[in-house]
Structure 1
């Protein structure tokens, strides 16, 4: 049986917008957009991983809010994506690792970027939640 590895993603909100991050690597994902995040390390809670990953990848401090229901398989066996809504607490997001561009999108703009397939359901739900806020 393949071990399940959780990858966390952030539907990061600020001023009524959602952050999209364009992948720069690996080659097969480069140029497509995702919700930023990364792997949960051993002994780490998913929410802790989300805070750490966004600090490392974007240079920001965030507060996880709630998990978006669902778990989406990723391209590697055993890898699964869990997504949390989160709010920006401090810092200005910059593409420090694994990304070459960032965009803050209103709910009506989320369809303007080419999201990774596994992120699309969570992005749709995140946009719905933003519209209600």
Structure 2
């Protein structure tokens, strides 16, 4: 079984908007074609804070400042789905990040679309496949941010 650390960025602009991206529907991935919070794998000898900054810049073309780790949680992933056998054990590190700039978003890598959404609209984009939404600490953070 493979073990991975995934960094995920809850990027906000300080005005109640959150950054989300949509995975390429043609790329095999558990979030294939779905909206999600930006993130990716921690690379060998990379610290998580640098990884989350790199992932956001690679996938949507903006710089962010990671402010804190909101939560860390494990997940067993069955991939490919047809196998029915857990193939990955993933540790997700969820970061609160502040966008350093409000420039245009430039989706790249396996993100085909990116946008800022008001926190009140988040549920229109993310569904139960976005496993981060299971984090109670993230739910608390989103409620706090919406105030």
Is the shorter-chain TM-score for this pair beyond 0.5, marking a shared fold? Answer: yes
Question: 1:120 Cα shift?
Answer: 1.4
Pair 1:92 & 2:104 matched: yes
In structure 2, C-alpha distance between the alignment counterparts of 1:20 and 1:55, rounded to whole Å: 13
Pair 1:119 & 2:121 matched: no
2:44 matched residue in structure 1: 42
Residues 6 and 81 in structure 1, CA contact (< 8 A), matched pair in contact too: yes
**Which deviates more, 70-79 or 39-48?**
70-79
2:81 matched residue in structure 1: none
Structure 1 runs not aligned, ≥5 long: none
1:6 matched residue in structure 2: 5
In structure 2, C-alpha distance between the alignment counterparts of 1:30 and 1:119, rounded to whole Å: 15
Question: 1:129 Cα shift?
Answer: 3.0
TM-score by length of structure 2 reads 0.77
Q: CA RMSD in A?
A: 2.1
1:20 matched residue in structure 2: 20
Question: 1:41 Cα shift?
Answer: 0.9
Structure 2 runs not aligned, ≥5 long: 78-86
TM-score by length of structure 1 reads 0.85
In structure 2, C-alpha distance between the alignment counterparts of 1:93 and 1:125, rounded to whole Å: 27
Residues 72 and 118 in structure 1, CA contact (< 8 A), matched pair in contact too: no
1:56 matched residue in structure 2: 58
In structure 2, C-alpha distance between the alignment counterparts of 1:86 and 1:35, rounded to whole Å: 11
Q: 1:103 to 1:65 in 2, by over 3 A?
A: same
Residues 10 and 18 in structure 2, CA contact (< 8 A), matched pair in contact too: yes
Residues 8 and 81 in structure 1, CA contact (< 8 A), matched pair in contact too: yes
**Which deviates more, 114-123 or 98-107?**
114-123
Q: How many residues align?
A: 131
Look up the SS of the partner of 2:120 in the other structure: helix
Residues 11 and 19 in structure 2, CA contact (< 8 A), matched pair in contact too: yes
